Structure 1
Amino acid sequence: MMDFDPKLYENVAINDADVRNIVLSYLVHNCFKETAEAFISCTGMNQPANYLVDMDLRKSIFIFAMEGNALKAMELTEHLTPNLLEEENDLRFDLLSLHFVDLLSSRKFTEALEFAQTKLAPFGKSPKYMQKLEDFMALLAYDEPDCSPMFHLMRSDYRQTIADNLNQAILARVNLPSYSSMETLIQQTTVVTQCLHQELGKVLEEVDERCCA
């Protein structure tokens, strides 16, 4: 990644209000309610309309998903955004798979097998889920599933990904941004930096060719 001389942008004006809005967007997106309230209070910002809408419930859903209590997360999701999981099959599969993994983690192998047969197996009608189903079923072959080649499916970062996806889907359903302004800004900055790096590489290649000609 390119390093830019700070002198190139040290005189660029930055609107403090924009910075505060970016920070608040991040706090709201990630359900940091108390911090968001304190931030608004200490900065004197006007409280955005509906910024706290369902934040507590979203936070509970996220926590339940992170803890592996997927059924409770699904129940609350249905309460907050009816029919979302019926329409988002990928998300529903991921949450059901979290419950399956939680059963395995609790060494409830018989219950896990029954759950897989009744709740996960129907997804096998679609080819897109076959590989995932095979990976999850492979966990059943081990007395210690967390020692299997598919152990990553039992790790917290896997739950984190699903919890993040669920949070984004809920935000989109209630007409709020799926990504915080900070995340979007970082993504845009990364893309711009990569493009500039590529262009610089082309320029340097042309210079080398001219020097060697």
Structure 2
Amino acid sequence: MDVDPRHYEQIAIKDIDIHNIVLSYLVHNCYRETLESFVACTGMPEPADYIEDMEKRKGIIRCALEGNALKAIELTEQVASDLLENNKDLHFDLLSLHFADLVCAKKCTEALEFAQNKLTPFGKEKNYVEKLEDFMALLAYEEPEKSPVFHLIGLEYRQDVADKLNRALLGLFPCSTFSKKILY
């Protein structure tokens, strides 16, 4: 529904709509304590099993953000064995985070072995070739953070991958159904 901005003052927004948006945001971002407080203050219904699911997602996302992409992959496979198999882009992104961490830790031999074992299969698909080349370019620099592809080792890229992982996981947990009901 397109509304002329001059008529915004005439649109009534219900408190329940605002509460639903806030609740969805808190669930999405795993803000458990704030969510519990918000639910208690507003009297809104609590999403079923949200705490356990939220804590699982939070742990997985934390691993990805803190430089333990392999642990994030392992935990993801425990809660959703086919998620990464069905989402190759996400799987590639997580594996590439680990590769970049190895390069930054000056473990170049280990990084090359990892690339040969885990990243090579992606090289058979055209849409991954350029990204693979960019990641391999990190090996050419003694200080990868000063390379033209430094963004691949930055916090912003890591956060982007973690956000993709969070969204994918949200699609699996029961609380995500609750969130979708709220947002849509």
Alignment TM-score, normalising by the size of structure 1: 0.78
Could you tell which deviates more after superposition, 60-69 or 151-160? 60-69
Mark the runs of 5 or more structure 1 residues left unpaired by the alignment: 186-213
Query: Is the contact made by 1:123 and 1:129 (CA closer than 8 Å) also made in structure 2?
Result: yes
Matched, 1:39 2:35: no
Matched, 1:138 2:154: no
SS in 1 for 2:99: helix
**Distance change in 2, residues 1:26/1:140 (3 Å):** same
Mark the runs of 5 or more structure 2 residues left unpaired by the alignment: none
- Which residue of structure 2 lines up, in the alignment, with residue 201 of structure 1? none
Correspondences of 1:29-68 after superposition (within 5 Å): 29-68=28-67
Query: Is the contact made by 2:53 and 2:173 (CA closer than 8 Å) also made in structure 1?
Result: no
Amino acid in structure 2 at the alignment position of 1:23: V
Alignment TM-score, normalising by the size of structure 2: 0.89
Q: Percent identity?
A: 58
SS in 2 for 1:9: helix
Query: Is the contact made by 1:65 and 1:163 (CA closer than 8 Å) also made in structure 2?
Result: yes
Provide the aligned length of Structure 1 versus Structure 2. Answer: 179
SS in 2 for 1:13: coil
| Separation in 2, partners of 1:101, 1:76 | 20
The structure, 1 or 2, with the larger RCO (C-alpha pairs under 8 Å, 6+ apart) is 2
Q: Deviations over 1:126-170 (max 9, x none)?
A: 111110110011110111111110000001110111111111111
- Which residue of structure 1 lines up, in the alignment, with residue 94 of structure 2? 95
| RMSD (CA atoms) | 2.1
Query: Is the contact made by 1:28 and 1:52 (CA closer than 8 Å) also made in structure 2?
Result: no
Q: Deviations over 1:68-92 (max 9, x none)?
A: 2100101111111112112211111
